[in-house]
Amino acid sequence: MVVWMAVALALGIGKLEAAVKHSPTVDSLLVMAMDEELRYKSRKRAASRATKLEWSPRTMDVMARVLMVGGKKTSAQDAEHWALRAVTREPNNPDYRATYAELLWIWDRREDAYTQAKRAIELDSNHKRGLYTASQFLMWQIQFYMDGERERGRIHLDEFAHKDREEATGYLQRILENSPGNRESRVLLALVYYDGGQPGNLVSLFKEYTEQYPADQDGHFFLGLGYQVQDNLKSAFRSYSRAVDLMNSEEKAFMQSMFLLSKKKDLEKRRNLPEASDIRRFWTGKDPLFLTPVNERLMEHCRRVAYSNLRFRDPRTKMQGWRSDRGQAYIRYGQPLSRVAQLYSGETWIYDRFRIHFKYGGIRDLFRFGSVWARGQQMGFSELVSRVPDFYMDPYKWERYEAPNQIAQFREPDGRTRVEIYYALPGSEVNHSTAEAGVGEVDLRQGFFLFGASGDTLRYDIEKVTRMPWVEYNQMSREGYLFANERLTLDPGSYFLAAEVEDRSSNTIGTFRDSLNVRRFGRKKLEVSSLLAARRIVEKEDGPLDRDRFMILPDPVGKCHSNGSMSFYFEVYNLRRDAFGQSNYRVTYQTRVLQEGRFFEGDLGKWTTAVSHVFNQSRSWEPHYMRLDLKRSVPGLRAFRVVVEDISSGQLAVASSVFRIVP
C-alpha cells in the first residue's frame, strides 16, 4: 500500500477507496503510461493493459490522459469516454474533474471546461491542473473579446479584463507557490503579465527562473520581452542573444531567416534555409539606425518571436508558437489592426492593406492559413509573402532626412581602390552658428559604418562633432550646407556603407546608405576614374603631381546656379608612352540635356562638345580637373561626361556624372 501511494502521488492520481487493492504490475503500467519521454504508442499500450488488469477510475483517468495527446479526433473522442467513466464512478475526485476539463478544452467547449476546472479547485484548492485550465480559460476569454473589440474601439471591456486577469494571476501564483518549477504555469502567467501591461512582474517572473534553468531558451526570450517593454533595450538584447545561442543550428537559421523564405512548404519544413552570411547581411540592412546600440528591427523580430511563443504555442503537442501559422504571420506583420474571431470557424486578422483568415482545425486550438485578401484580390499566403515580406514601422521615420552625397573611386598603387565619400547636411535641418568664415559650430553625433559583402562589420565609428565646414549656396536665401567626408582604401568587391548624423538639440537625423561595388582598376587597358563634382578646385604650385596636389571643395548636392559653374576632378590610367616616354591623348568634355523622369535613350538629348584638348605628358597616369562655365544656361537636369582617347593606342575610356542647374 505504501508503494502504491508513492506511485499515486507521482502520477497525480487522487484519493481512492481504501478497500481497493492494486497490483504492482498495474502500478508500473500506469507509471509507464504517464511517462512523456516514451512514444505515444508505448504509452497507449501500457494504459490499455492497465485497464484490462484493473477496471477502476484511476486506470480510466490515465487512459483518458494518454489518449488526449494522440493528435487525432478519434483519440480525443475515446479520451472523453474514459474521462466520463472516471468522473461518474468517483465524482468528487479533483484529478478526474481536471482531466475532463482538459478534454472539454480540446473540444472547444471552453465554458464547460472552466466549470469542471472550478469544480476541481473546489475539491482541492491547490490542484495544479484545475488551476491551470481555469487560468487558460480566463486568458482565452480576455483575448477573444478584447482582440475582437479592437475594431470597434474595445468599448467597456477594461473592467471585465482586469477582473479576469486578477483571477488568473491568483490561480497561477498559487500553483507556483507550491510548485516553483511548473513551467507551463509560469509561461501562462507571463502572458497574463504581458497582456496586462505589467512588464516589471514579467521580468521578476523569469529573472530568477533563467538563473535556475539557464538552458531554457524560452525563459530568456520571455525575460527579454519584459525588458523590452520596460525600454531596457540593452538588457533585452542580452536576453534575446542568450535565447538565440541556445537554439540548435536549424532553429537559429529558421528563426532568423524566415523573412527570406516565401514558399509555404519551405516555411513548414524549414528547408532551403539561407547561409549565415545571407542572414547577417539581411539584418544589417534592416537596422533602422546604426547610431543606436541595438538593431531595433532585429529586436522587434525577437519580441514578436517571444510573444508568439507566449500566445500561439500548444503545450500539449509541444508546438512552439513561432512555428505555428499564426505565429509566422505575427512575426512578419506584427499586431493586426483588429482581429475578428468566430467560434468554431476561425479568425481573421485585419491589417492596413490586407487581411488574413485562419481556418480552425476543430480540436487542439489548431489554426491554419486559410485565405488572404489584398485590395479585393484573393491569394495564398505564399503570394502575400512574396508581395509583402514583412511590415515594420521605422521608429525614426519622422526625424530622418536623406543627406545628399556622392562617392568617387580612384586607383591606388597597391592594387586597391581609393573611395572618396562626401555628404551634406542642409542648414535648415541642423542647428548651427558661425564659428568662423566657412566653419559652422554644431552639436552632433556623427557615425560612419562599413560592412562587408556578408554583413561583417569593417568600420563602426561614432564620434561627437562640434565644428563642420559650411558652404553657402545662395546668399539671398541663406541656403547652405554643412559638409562631411570619408576617405577609404579598399580591396575591390562588394560593400554596404552608411553615414548618420544626429543633431543632439533637435534630434533630426541625416543619413544615407548605399551598396558599394568597389572597382578593380587594371594595369593595361585605358581607364578613367569616377568624376568628382566640386564647387571649386585649386591646384597647388608645388608638391608631387598626385591627388594631394589638388584642394577640392566637393559638391555632393550636385547642383549649381545658372550664373555659376561646376568643376570636376578625375584621373586617367594606363596611357601608352612612346620610345621617348611621352604619352599622347585627347580629352573631350561633353554635356547634354536630360528630361525629368525619362530614362529611355530616345528621350535623351544629343551630346554637345564643350571643349577638347590634346595632351602630351611623361607618365602613364595623369590627374585632371576642369571648370564648366554655366552662365546663361537653362535650368534643368544635365549630364556631363569625359571621353579620353589614347591617340597612341586608339583606346577610348569614358566617365560621366549628372548635376542640376537651378535658377
The residue among 123 and 146 whose pLDDT is bigger is: 123
> What's the rounded Cα separation, in Å, for the pair 215 and 220?
9
Q: Does the pLDDT value for residue 4 go beyond 50?
A: no
The residue among 24 and 528 whose pLDDT is bigger is: 528
**Sequence letter at residue 203:** V
Per-residue model confidence (pLDDT) at position 154 = 44
Grouping H, G, I as helix, E, B as strand and the rest as coil, residue 67 is helix
Q: Which of 15-19, 273-277, 367-371 has the lowest mean pLDDT?
A: 15-19
> Predicted confidence band at 7 (pLDDT cuts at 50, 70, 90)?
very low
> Predicted confidence band at 381 (pLDDT cuts at 50, 70, 90)?
confident
Q: Does the pLDDT value for residue 89 go beyond 50?
A: yes
Q: Does the pLDDT value for residue 603 go beyond 60?
A: no
Grouping H, G, I as helix, E, B as strand and the rest as coil, residue 250 is helix
Residue 275, number of CB atoms within 10 A of its CB: 11
Output the CA–CA distances (angstroms, integers) from residue 337 to 150, 154, 297, 485, in the order listed. 7, 12, 20, 43
> What's the rounded Cα separation, in Å, for the pair 25 and 78?
24
Q: 292 and 193, same structural domain?
A: no
SS (H, E, C) 258-313: HHHCCCHHHHHHCCCCCCHHHHHHHHHHHCCCCCCCCCHHHHHHHHHHHHHHHHCC
Q: Does the pLDDT value for residue 475 go beyond 80?
A: no
* Over residues 445-450, mean pLDDT: 97
**Sequence letter at residue 591:** T
Q: Does the pLDDT value for residue 5 go beyond 70?
A: no
Question: What cell numbers appear for 347 in the block?
Answer: 479568425
Q: 613 and 490, same structural domain?
A: no
Output the CA–CA distances (angstroms, integers) from residue 121 to 93, 131, 174, in the order listed. 11, 7, 11
CB 413 within 8 A of CB 480: no
- The DSSP result for 168-215, as a single string, is HHHHHHHHHHH-TT-HHHHHHHHHHHHHTT-HHHHHHHHHHHHHH-TT
Q: Does the pLDDT value for residue 175 go beyond 50?
A: yes
SS (H, E, C) 136-174: HHHHHHHHHHHHHHHHHCCCCCHHHHHHHHHHHHHHHHH
Q: Which of 97, 84, 26, 32 shows the shortest CA–CA distance to 55?
A: 26
Q: Which of 152-161, 208-217, 279-288, 503-512 has the lowest mean pLDDT?
A: 152-161
Per-residue model confidence (pLDDT) at position 128 = 96
- Name, of 140-149, 215-224, 273-282, 356-365, the range with top average pLDDT: 215-224
> Predicted confidence band at 108 (pLDDT cuts at 50, 70, 90)?
confident
Could you tell me whether strands 417-426 and 636-646 are parallel, antiparallel, or unpaired per DSSP bridges?
unpaired
Q: Does the pLDDT value for residue 216 go beyond 50?
A: yes
Q: 165 and 70, same structural domain?
A: yes
Per-residue model confidence (pLDDT) at position 109 = 87
Question: What cell numbers appear for 289 in the block?
Answer: 539606425
Q: Exposed/middle/buried for 66, CB within 10 Å: 0-12, 13-18, 19+? A: buried
> What's the rounded Cα separation, in Å, for the pair 285 and 605?
37
Count of domains observed in the chain: 4
Q: 255 and 298, same structural domain?
A: no
* Over residues 326-342, mean pLDDT: 88
Residue 601, number of CB atoms within 10 A of its CB: 6
Question: Pick from 360, 377, 397: which residue ends a domain?
Answer: 397
Per-residue model confidence (pLDDT) at position 489 = 97
The residue among 17 and 123 whose pLDDT is bigger is: 123
Question: What cell numbers appear for 245 in the block?
Answer: 545561442
Domain that includes residue 324, residue range: 268-397
Q: 283 and 227, same structural domain?
A: no
> What's the rounded Cα separation, in Å, for the pair 176 and 179?
5
Q: Exposed/middle/buried for 442, CB within 10 Å: 0-12, 13-18, 19+? A: buried
Per-residue model confidence (pLDDT) at position 10 = 41
Per-residue model confidence (pLDDT) at position 262 = 61
Q: Which of 638, 622, 618 shows the shortest CA–CA distance to 630?
A: 638
Q: Exposed/middle/buried for 606, CB within 10 Å: 0-12, 13-18, 19+? A: exposed
For 449-463, how does the pLDDT look when each residue is reduced to its tens digit (9 = 90+)?
A: 999 998 899 999 999
Question: What cell numbers appear for 296 in the block?
Answer: 531595433
Question: Pick from 215, 235, 267: which residue ends a domain?
Answer: 267
φ/ψ of residue 68, rounded to 5 = -70, -15
> Predicted confidence band at 317 (pLDDT cuts at 50, 70, 90)?
confident
> What's the rounded Cα separation, in Å, for the pair 208 and 226?
13
Percent of the chain with pLDDT strictly greater than 90:
63
Could you tell me whether strands 532-539 and 550-554 are parallel, antiparallel, or unpaired per DSSP bridges?
antiparallel
Q: 612 and 560, same structural domain?
A: yes
For 425-437, how does the pLDDT look when each residue is reduced to its tens digit (9 = 90+)?
A: 999 999 999 999 8
Question: Pick from 397, 425, 453: which residue ends a domain?
Answer: 397
Q: Does the pLDDT value for residue 73 go beyond 50?
A: yes
* Over residues 321-349, mean pLDDT: 86
Q: 428 and 367, same structural domain?
A: no
Per-residue model confidence (pLDDT) at position 597 = 67
Q: Does the pLDDT value for residue 503 go beyond 60?
A: yes
Q: Mean pLDDT of all residues in the chain?
A: 88
Q: Which of 491, 644, 484, 467 shows the shortest CA–CA distance to 571?
A: 644
Question: What cell numbers appear for 312 in the block?
Answer: 500561439
> Predicted confidence band at 16 (pLDDT cuts at 50, 70, 90)?
very low
Q: 137 and 232, same structural domain?
A: yes
The residue among 174 and 1 whose pLDDT is bigger is: 174
> What's the rounded Cα separation, in Å, for the pair 400 and 278?
27
For 533-552, how does the pLDDT look when each residue is reduced to its tens digit (9 = 90+)?
A: 999 999 998 888 889 999 99
Per-residue model confidence (pLDDT) at position 648 = 92
Q: Does the pLDDT value for residue 163 go beyond 60?
A: yes
> Predicted confidence band at 267 (pLDDT cuts at 50, 70, 90)?
low
Per-residue model confidence (pLDDT) at position 21 = 56
> What's the rounded Cα separation, in Å, for the pair 58 and 33?
12
* Over residues 115-128, mean pLDDT: 97
> Predicted confidence band at 18 (pLDDT cuts at 50, 70, 90)?
very low
Per-residue model confidence (pLDDT) at position 340 = 82
Q: 278 and 408, same structural domain?
A: no
Q: 389 and 404, same structural domain?
A: no
> Predicted confidence band at 380 (pLDDT cuts at 50, 70, 90)?
confident
Q: 88 and 199, same structural domain?
A: yes
SS (H, E, C) 352-400: CCEEEEEEECCCCCCEEEEEEEECCEEECHHHHHHHCCCCCCCCCCCCE
The residue among 266 and 525 whose pLDDT is bigger is: 525
> Predicted confidence band at 504 (pLDDT cuts at 50, 70, 90)?
very high
Q: 38 and 158, same structural domain?
A: yes
Q: Does the pLDDT value for residue 96 go beyond 50?
A: yes
Per-residue model confidence (pLDDT) at position 477 = 54
